[in-house]
Amino acid sequence: MSDGIFRKKSLKQISNEVAQGLTDGHETSLHKVLSVRDLTFMGIAAIVGAGIFSTIGKASFDGGPGIILLFMFVAIACGFSAICYAEFASMVPVSGSAYTYSYVAFGEVIAWIIGWDLLMEYAIGNIAVAISWSSYFTSLINSIKIGGVQLHIPEYLATDYWTAKDGLTDAAKMAWANAPLIGGVRFICNLPAFFITGIITAIIYVGIKESRRSTNIMVILKIAIILLVMVAGVFYVNPTNWTPFLPNGMSGVLAGTSAVFFSYIGFDAISTTAEECKNPQRDLPRAMFYSLIICTIIYILVALVLTGMTSYKNLDVGDPLAYVFSAMNSTWANWIAGVISISAVIATASVLLVFQLGQPRIWMSMSRDGLLPPVFARIHPRFKTPSFSTVLTGFIVGIPALFMNLTVVVDLTSVGTLFAFVLVCGGILSLQNDPHRLQSRFKTPYVNSRYITISLFALFLVLVAMYSPGGIAGALSFTDAGGNISWAIARTKIPYLLFGVVFAVTAVLSFLRNYSLIPVLGFLSCSYLLCESGVSNWERFLIWLVIGLIVYFIYGSRHSKLRKAQNTG
């Protein structure tokens, strides 16, 4: 076992901790009620959400009908990662997701980094989802008329202060103008976002059975509505709208990388429920693959129907599915547009439920290891849920959603998730030649990557030489047109240069160590997607990781149970 901050946990240690049923005096056993069907529904609930009702519009506007290529690429990249997740889930069938997997593969400090990363990913992602739900819900309520009375949520109760102050939209201007003054300050808040977060938190708090039941109902409803939309829309598809297929080239398609990837991260969340599965070693891998395959088919079909019903140029709207039907100006089409609005509310709520379910279980796992205070691992004696962590998650998401506009951090959430995927794929590679490798009921199919990775790296160099301005020399240059070194140019190129270095090192190691192809492809594809996530998001992400390391060395490292066990041993 490694010493210092890179000390690793064995499966025996993890299993013993869970089997004891006690952590600092608190009962830790969770209800084992989730089947493969329940887990698959949770995956679908998390994957099919705002992406299919909003971000698919902007992605289609940028990439045209060719956006289906991006869905395929991201699905394949996630598929490689899902296989690695599946092996880890079968190998380490406890809560914690990538945090626990990294503890086994890389050691404590890397586990802390990924755990801290997941806290950011889930919290920020949930805030954005809550705000998105508020937008759908407000639009739906404002479209309803009962007995001649038009329902209406005041703008100042359905937006945040900063958006209202900027006044970039008519709704924001009205919110600022009509907001009541309290102590000379305008009272503006996003009440529906806080409202839905409170409801979801309450459902999760009272038990996994209630969470499962709510998720299953919402998934059945939204899948039925999506199928209705596709069947209705296919009769109005005009194949000429699919030409040109790539109006803005591959660069236009790749512009939607972060938004599309954000739509696919649901299978990561279901891995946090391992201790509540009836048979996690069998069911978690199956559910990951089932949900990923089903959702990819849905996304591709919806994208084809959407871009076939109207020109991609018309899809830069917040509600593209409702837009294409409402633009027909017929009674039945308007009815379908209304149904889509209802479905968007349900779909977004289901996403929030699954991710709100995941974060407390990561906190619980980190607390069990001593890296967070013991209260985070407290289990409710009746409901068998991580009580303190669940309530805290509700406040951490609900309060910022009430006052802040964080919809712009979808890209930051994608960075955090991709980073987790990279580490999980890398973890499988690091364990490949480990003589003490843990046994897993699910094995990643082995294909020797020795020559394939080298060939892919050579192809990568050829493509850079052919398509990068100035070839390879131009890609390595940080100078502007005047021959002066430009930080602005360097800043945008550094992520791609780092990817080139990572690709080269991976190719060499694959040749020397005969790495398995699937985790190598998952590692490389997710590493490349990180490059497409934006430099500013990387900078914010690195700042967050530095803060996390400070917290680790102040508290986590000193209270680590593994460290104490080694010292006493």
Q: Phi, psi (5° rounding) for residue 277?
A: -90, 145
The residue count for the chain: 569
Tell me what the mean pLDDT of segment 373-381 comes to. Answer: 89
Single-letter residue type at 179: A
pLDDT higher than threshold 50 for residue 221: yes
Q: How sure is the predictor about 15, in pLDDT bands with cuts at 50, 70 and 90?
A: low
pLDDT at 510: 94
Q: What is the mean pLDDT of residues 520-532?
A: 86
Q: In Å, how far are 140, 145, 345 from 151, measured between CA atoms?
A: 10, 6, 17
Helical ranges in 278-386 per DSSP H: 280-309, 320-326, 331-368
- Percent of the chain scored above 90 by pLDDT? 14
Tens of pLDDT, residue by residue over 392-428, are 999 999 998 888 765 455 556 667 778 888 888 888 8
- Domain with 479, as residue range(s), is 450-568
Domain CATH code at residue 226: 1.20.1740.10
> Average pLDDT in the 477-486 region?
73
Whether residue 340 is contained in a domain is answered as: yes
**pLDDT recorded at residue 552:** 92
The answer to whether residues 408 and 464 belong to one domain is: no
The answer to whether residues 454 and 378 belong to one domain is: no
252 located within any domain: yes
CA 100/CA 88 separation, integer angstroms: 9
Please give the Cα distance from 569 to 565 (Å, whole number): 6
Residue 81 lies in a domain: yes
What pLDDT is recorded for position 335?
Answer: 81
Compute the average pLDDT of residues 537-559. 86
Q: Are residues 58 and 91 in the same domain?
A: yes
215 has a pLDDT exceeding 50: yes
In a domain, 77, yes or no: yes
Whether residue 421 sits in one domain with residue 474? no
pLDDT tens, position by position, 236-251? 889 999 988 988 888 8
Tokens at 289, concatenated: 């693959």
What is the structure's pLDDT at 390?
93
What is the chain's mean pLDDT, rounded? Answer: 82
Per-residue pLDDT at 200: 93
The predicted pLDDT at position 202 comes to 93
Q: Is residue 94 in a domain?
A: yes
- State mean pLDDT over 329-341: 77
Residue 174 belongs to some domain of the structure? no
pLDDT band at 21 (very low <50, low <70, confident <90, very high): very low
Asked whether the predicted pLDDT for residue 515 surpasses 90, the reply is yes
| DSSP 8-state code for residue 190 | B
Number of domain units in the chain: 2
* pLDDT range class, residue 508, cuts 50, 70, 90: very high
512-517 average pLDDT score: 92
| pLDDT computed for residue 541 by the predictor | 81
Tell whether 494 and 552 lie within a shared domain. Answer: yes
Closest CA to 314 of 507, 505, 60, 519: 60
Two tokens at 461? 């160099």
The pLDDT tens digits for 270-314 are 888 877 888 887 888 888 889 888 988 988 898 899 899 889 888
What confidence tier does 27 reach under pLDDT thresholds 50, 70, 90? very low
| pLDDT surpasses 60 at 569 | no
pLDDT, residue 104, reads: 81
409 and 454 share one domain: no
- Domain presence at residue 299: yes
pLDDT (average), residues 525-554: 83
- 455 with 406, same domain: the answer is no
One domain, residues 503 and 368: no
Q: Is the confidence at residue 455, as pLDDT, over 90?
A: yes
> Do 233 and 349 belong together in one domain?
yes
Angle at 509 between CA 503 and CA 511, to 5 degrees: 105
pLDDT for the residue numbered 409? 54
Between 178 and 561, whose confidence is greater?
178
Give the pairing of strands 26-27 and 22-23. antiparallel
Question: Can you give the pTM of this predicted structure?
Answer: 0.81
For residue 445, what is the DSSP state? P
- Indicate the residue among 394, 427, 460 that finishes a domain: 427
pLDDT tens column, 46-98: 888 766 776 788 788 888 898 888 888 888 888 888 888 888 877 777 777 78
Q: Do 388 and 500 fall within a single domain?
A: no
The answer to whether residue 168 is domain-embedded is no
439 has pLDDT over 70 = no
Q: Which residue has the higher pLDDT, 136 or 204?
A: 204
HSE-up of residue 461 (Cα within 13 Å, Cβ side): 10
Please compute the mean of the pLDDT values over residues 342-361 and round it to a whole number: 85
pLDDT above 80 for 448: yes
289 and 380 fall within a common domain = yes
Residues of the chain with pLDDT > 70, as a percent, come to: 89
Residues 363 and 312 in one domain: yes
